[in-house]
Amino acid sequence: MYKQLWLDYKKEEISSDSVKVNKQCLTNIVLDSIDQDCVIIRSVMEELQIAVKAMFLESVKVGKDNGEPALYLKKASSLAANLKVNELTLLKGKSKALMNEAYCIQMKEKGLFVTAQSDVGILYGVYRLLALLRQGKYQVNATFTEVPSNPLRMLNHWDNMDGSIERGYSGQSFFFEKENVLVNERTKDYARLIASIGINGVVINNVNVKGAATELISTRYYQQMKELSEIFGSYGISLYLSINYAMPCEYGCGSADPLQEEVILWWKRKCAEIYSRVPLLGGFLVKADSEGRPGPFTYNRTQADGANMLAEAINPYGGKIIWRCFVYNCQQDWRDMKTDRARAGYDYFSALDGQFASNVILQIKNGPMDFQVREPVSPLFGGLSNTNQLLEVQIAQEYTGQQRHVCYLIPWFKKILAHQTYLPNCEGTTQTSVADIVTGKALGQNACGMVAVANTGNDLNWTGHDLAAANLYGFGRLAFQIELSEKEIATEWIGLTFIQTLTSGDTDENHKKVTNTIMDILMNSWTTYELYSSPLGIGWMVTPNTHYGPDVDGYEYSRWGTYHRADHLGIGIDRTPNGTGYTTQYREPNSSMYASVETCPEELILFFHHLPYTYKLKSGKTIIQHIYDTHFEGADSAKHFVEQWQKIEGLISKEQYDRVLKRLEEQSIHACEWRDVINAYFYRKSGIEDQEHRKIY
């Protein structure tokens, strides 16, 4: 049976000093201004029933306020009355849509109170309350209030109809099998998991829509899509579908020209048909003119022409069009030193700013390339001021160890969100971070947010590597509360996932040992992976197609635009105004900062500059010595993860311990392969010895 991850409630796991009052409260529910027949409220009551039965071997009862301790669930027109004066700033500037998902938790002598303005706010509040109690955070007169940071908090699945998952590292799909749609108990448990961390939108199929996937918006699959949308809807989650932009070509029109009247009418009829059968559908995700996928460029039309045609067709039903900006020339000649894949997104979309319909949202990858372990933030964040934007990140670890290596990505996401774009904002300043843009704060927008390429599959633990679940949990919590630190998120996840499974000596000392060990591994994992893989922002030194393991020249002479330009003298791409000109796509002062080798952040210096191996970094080391040192350091760090993990043997479940140990041991071996391949390549290329005289092949 698959695991319940952070929703794996255990008997009497709530701290002993508060068990009695919490047991009384959680078994007695008082509803105020709440409709018990609402599907979302039914989900709330089911979750409470699951938790109470597991923790206390009791059942939940709904009754009237009789003065006894109880859990009070209340819908109110405003949360302001529930907050202390110093907490009212939480509500400042928040849109009506965000306030509808907000909640306030109060812990009083009389009982526990969850207040919200909507049913979904009650749902989020109850999930948060259960998490707080399980972490021992019961405190009389304490108040916990959360208003979502991002309007849209989504997951993109790259699942195929045959059951495979593109860039999937956790088994097969739990949505599809042999062109059948799976709707079962695991579907519901998945909805529970992601609702508990605040996800409100999910795309279930691969953006590369082929074969039977095209028919997901046809009579062949409408009934299953309706069932899925209702399951997700009962947890406040909207179902979205990736569509084949060229579907009219294959089903009657012979064209997909977005300005052709016949195509426009085809999509209007199709949307009317879809929403008559699947009324809860959130909208469509579209990958067009990218990596062989058809799109508006086929007909000499713009990306805005294509997106707006679909937006008009879906608008009467409240649907959204999410349009990916991953558009570039994938037939590049490696000899061409001026064409730069990094420029493509900005070149294609920045001039279209303000031309997209209000229900179109551009989905922009965090960087200009493709989810590398380190790359600069896309200049489209800061290049668009009149367009809805979604930040797209990837928790599937395609280029960061594929869930065979531990790589906690929330620290990386926090850096991306903190990046200053210098975009003029609605407050009249240019202090505008990526977080300000995607939350809607900077430009006063409501159709914006964050999306992650999902890392789940039908493995028993959902994510292949048990520690990879920290990225799933972490993305949801970060998207809901962008102010949370990476350490706060990790602390929550560890407490809900591992502390509740302690098997030996359930003491504060053991709690601390388990927490500190896992925390240290997580917090060092991203930088460790970077140390033993691609140096100084260059990226791409991976095995072609699989993207697992080192192959320095694997993509160097390919058509994909993913080059490092290493020769016997130096390495890196000249993206300054004298090179590809990519640095000019950023606003000042970023443009000048990146263009100058003196001010360019050194962790990105080879992304922006071609430099000799003998160039000295601020550390005093040459680039070549930095490459040698970091790869030895990274391999040593991966080995240390194994040693750290072995110290908590017997403190957590053997099953969890063994699964993680096996992955960490594989990572340690593989980190040595990375170290040796990278160092050998650059030693042979440059002929420069390692100053420390370590073994390089």
* Catalytic site positions: 291, 370, 398
Peptide bond into 535 cis (omega under 30): no
DSSP string, 203-261: E-S-SS--GGGGGGGSTTTHHHHHHHHHHHHTTT-EEEEEE-TTHHHHTTSS---TT-H
Cα–Cα nearest to 73, from 118, 109, 39: 118
Helix count (H) and strand count (E) of the chain?
A: 19, 18
Q: How far apart are CA 218 and CA 241, in angstroms?
A: 12
* Contact status, residue 472 vs residue 463, Cβ threshold 8 Å: yes
Report the 10 Å Cβ neighbour count for 132. 19
H/E run at residue 490: helix 486-497
Q: How many CA atoms lie within 13 A of 127 on its CB side?
A: 29
Show the beta-strand stretches assigned E in 93-169. 103-108, 111-116, 142-146, 152-156
β pairing state of 320-324 and 283-286: parallel
* Contact status, residue 546 vs residue 318, Cβ threshold 8 Å: no
Alpha-helical regions (H) of 57-169: 96-99, 119-134
Local structure of 350: helix, strand or coil: helix
Show the beta-strand stretches assigned E in 499-609. 570-571
Structure tokens at 522: 């997580």
Tell me the angle at which helices 119-134 and 486-497 cross, rounded to the nearest 10 degrees.
70
* Contact status, residue 152 vs residue 448, Cβ threshold 8 Å: yes
Tell me the angle at which helices 623-646 and 654-686 cross, rounded to the nearest 10 degrees.
160
Q: How far apart are CA 234 and CA 237, in angstroms?
A: 7
> What's the DSSP call for residue 672?
H
Cα–Cα nearest to 31, from 96, 114, 100: 114
For residue 690, CA distances in Å to 291, 537, 567, 623, 694 come to 40, 21, 18, 11, 7
Cα–Cα nearest to 25, from 70, 59, 55: 70
Report the 10 Å Cβ neighbour count for 424. 16
Burial of 697 (0-12, 13-18, 19+ CB in 10 A): exposed
Q: How far apart are CA 161 and CA 145, in angstroms?
A: 41
* Contact status, residue 690 vs residue 626, Cβ threshold 8 Å: no
In this structure, which long-range contacts are made by residues 77-85, counting pairs with CB atoms below 8 Å and at least 24 apart in sequence? 77/117, 78/117, 79/103, 79/104, 79/115, 79/116, 79/117, 79/145, 82/106, 82/113, 82/115, 82/143, 82/145, 83/143, 83/145, 84/143
Residues 6+ apart with CB under 8 A from 12: 19, 55, 56
Q: How far apart are CA 254 and CA 248, in angstroms?
A: 7
Residues 6+ apart with CB under 8 A from 578: none
The region, left, alpha or beta by phi > 0 then psi within -120 to 50, assigned to residue 470 is alpha
